[in-house]
Amino acid sequence: MGAVMKMDVTPYRNFLIMLSIAGIFLLVAIIVGAAGPQVYEKITWSAYQCPGGSRVWSDKCTGVTLRDPNQKWKMDLPPMHLFNKLWIIEMTPYKWQNITDGIEANIRPIVSIYGSNSPPGTSDKQQQIRVDDMHTDILECPQGSNSQCLTFTLVDEQFLTFAYYHVEISISSADVAHAWVGDVDFTLSRYTKGFGDMELSYRTIYLFFNVAILIAFLWRMKSTPFFNGWAFEQKAILVLLSALILYNDPFYGLTFLSKGWFFEFLNSVFETLFISLILLFWLIIIDKIRLDQLRLEPSVTHIVQLLVVGVYSIMTLILFAWARIRASEDPVYSERDGITGMLVLFWFISILYGAIIIWLIVLIVMTVPIVNQKKYLLNRFVFIGIPTILCIFSVIIGIFTGTLGPFNRDSLGLVYFLTLYNVYTYILVAGCWPVDESLLGVTVGAAGGRVNAGGEEGRELMATGVVNPGVSKNREGLEQLQEQL
């Protein structure tokens, strides 16, 4: 005999209270996220350094003109903190003031990077990180005098080895395009310390609650045989709780301490794994309710669901691996290199994800009339269906606003979706929490058999048509019992 679950006996008023509490947590997450720090901070310097920001070179300019291959733009970058995590320099050229035609030609920036743990001007010698590192890119400029050319990423340092960096950039004379370059803007981008603090704090807090809830759930279920006593929903929530621990990323702090792409990629694997498992859970559990199954009965539909979600998972992991490894192996690169293939894969994954969501919505719509006919399914459908619909609604908004996923991250998206998935899983845990039948004063026999209902919760238990996994599938006796109660 399997344990009866809370979702089968919880009065609707208690469920509404639970949803309200979850809503408060999400509202707080929105407020905190919206008021949170920016993910990146950007600092821009002009090579010319002309008065009033002029793009026309004159004797009043105090900077350098990089069309002269003998001149270098040199800059001591602001001090780096561990939570800055990385730093990127983007290059935005402008055409030389006397050129009006459009340009599309090769250009070869030369980059040197030096690092030190002491401020500039101290006795500590700067260590060479990259010296005269040349990379070919494309100078693309529209027609017009002093027009702004396309921006490209010049430096991408994914790990902070030093607290202080010195950068020197020039343009090779190997290509004629160097003479067409006028002013150049160099933009430093890096994670803000505040964002690093916030992400580490939220992940740690949710990880603590996650582990505590998992231990409590396992302790409560310890006397119930796993294979014969646990309902499918309880087995599923065990898997989701374990995956949620990974989603909260117990190794996240190591991303600030380790060089290379491994822990960043591992975080992406964990996120993909949890999202894939929760998509699969949604498809299977709604289908199970629609088919009115006491036990999960494997079918061809489940194989199709597994294949579709599996393809989504594999494609997502390929995208993460592509982006992370590419960035870690070639820190001096142009964002044009290989970006077309990544965009195609990204949009394919987005379309596939949207198709899965549409499939799930169709299943929910198909389940509604069945639940309306078989009232004993209503409690379970409401407890699982309503939070799932709200979660899907949030995901759809996240996709359209660009806050969902590893790209275009911001404080709002980070805090909200961390809170959403944690709170959603905790609601499922509450629903799958086992109920001791002896405390309810209920003995659940075969459908239509003798039943002793004692107390309000016991009557609610039988009124919803709850049976244990080992009970007969005959619903006729249950419906007669509902009429009597």
Name the most confidently modeled range: 36-40, 174-178, 279-283, 433-437.
Answer: 279-283
The pTM of the full predicted model, rounded to 2 decimals, is 0.77
Give the residue-averaged pLDDT of 6-13: 83
Average pLDDT over residues 327-349: 58
pLDDT band at 329 (very low <50, low <70, confident <90, very high): very low
Specify the pLDDT at position 405. 58
Say if residue 443's pLDDT is above 50.
no
CA distances from 330 to 36, 160, 223, 316, 337 (A): 32, 15, 54, 22, 11
Distance of alpha carbon 358 from alpha carbon 405, whole angstroms: 19
Question: Could you give the CA distance from residue 349 to residue 324 in angstroms, rounded to a whole number?
Answer: 17
Question: What is the phi-psi region of residue 455: left when phi exceeds 0, alpha when psi lies from -120 to 50, beta otherwise?
Answer: left
C-alpha distances out from residue 280 to 267, 273, 306, 378, Å: 20, 11, 7, 22
Radius of gyration of the chain from its Cα atoms, rounded to whole angstroms: 30
Rounded CA gap, 405 and 322, in Å?
15
In the predicted structure, residue 472 carries a pLDDT above the cut 50? no
Coil/strand/helix, residue 46 = strand
Q: pLDDT at position 40, please? A: 82
Judge whether residue 453 has pLDDT over 70. Answer: no
How many Cβ atoms are within 10 Å of 128's Cβ, its own excluded? 10
Task: Please write the tens of the pLDDT for every residue from 306-322.
Answer: 999 999 999 888 877 67
Using alpha carbons only, give the angle 150, 156, 158 rounded to the nearest 5 degrees: 155
> Would you call 166 helix, strand, or coil by DSSP?
strand
Question: Does position 101 have pLDDT exceeding 90, yes or no?
Answer: no
Q: What is the pLDDT of residue 437?
A: 57
The answer to whether residue 347 scores a pLDDT higher than 90 is: no
Among the residue ranges 258-262, 371-375, 416-420, 475-479, the one predicted with the least confidence is 475-479
Looking at residue 299, the DSSP 8-state letter turns out to be -
- Of the pLDDT bands very low, low, confident and very high (cuts 50, 70, 90), residue 253 is confident
- Mean pLDDT of the region 248-272: 83
Q: How far apart are CA 332 and CA 151, in angstroms?
A: 14
Give the per-residue pLDDT at 3.
54
Structure-token pair, residue 331: 């820190």
Distances (CA, A) of 297 to 34, 132, 232, 292: 44, 64, 10, 10
Say how far apart CA 107 and CA 207 lie, in whole Å: 48
Parallel/antiparallel/unpaired status of strands 152-157 and 87-95: antiparallel
pLDDT tens profile 218-242: 999 988 888 888 889 999 999 999 9
Instruction: Evaluate if residue 466 carries a pLDDT over 70.
Output: no
Residue 441 has a pLDDT of: 47
Tokens (6 digits) for 399: 């996709």
Lookup: tokens for 4: 């009866």
Angle at the Cα of 121 (from 117 to 123), degrees rounded to 5? 70
* Contact present, 172 and 138 (Cβ < 8 Å): no
Task: Report the chain's mean pLDDT, rounded to a whole number.
Answer: 81
- pLDDT score at 376: 79
What backbone phi and psi angles, to 5 degrees, belong to 171?
-125, 130
Q: How far is CA 296 from CA 127, 202, 288, 380, in A?
A: 62, 36, 7, 15
The per-residue pLDDT for 323 is 64
Pair 221, 3: CB distance under 8 Å: yes
Helix orientation angle between 300-329 and 339-373, rounded to the nearest 10 degrees: 150
- Looking at the DSSP assignment, which residues form a beta bridge with residue 4? 435
pLDDT tens for each residue of 388-406 = 989 988 888 887 776 665 5
Q: How many Å apart are CA 290 and CA 284, to the nearest integer?
A: 10
pLDDT tens sequence across 113-158:
999 988 887 767 788 888 888 888 888 898 877 788 988 888 888 7
CB environment 4-36: b (16+ within 10 A), e (fewer): bbbbbbbeeeebeebeeebeeebeebeebbeeb
Farthest-apart Cα atoms in the chain, separation:
101
Q: Give the number of other Cβ atoms within 10 Å of residue 154's Cβ.
A: 24
Q: Which of 25-29, 262-266, 292-296 has the highest mean pLDDT?
A: 25-29
**The predicted structure's pLDDT at residue 1:** 34
pLDDT at 468: 39
User: What are 85's two structure tokens?
Assistant: 């995590």
Amino acid 340: pLDDT: 64
Strand partners, 152: 91
Q: How confident is the model at residue 332 (pLDDT cuts 50, 70, 90)?
A: very low
Partners of residue 113 on adjacent β-strands: 130, 167
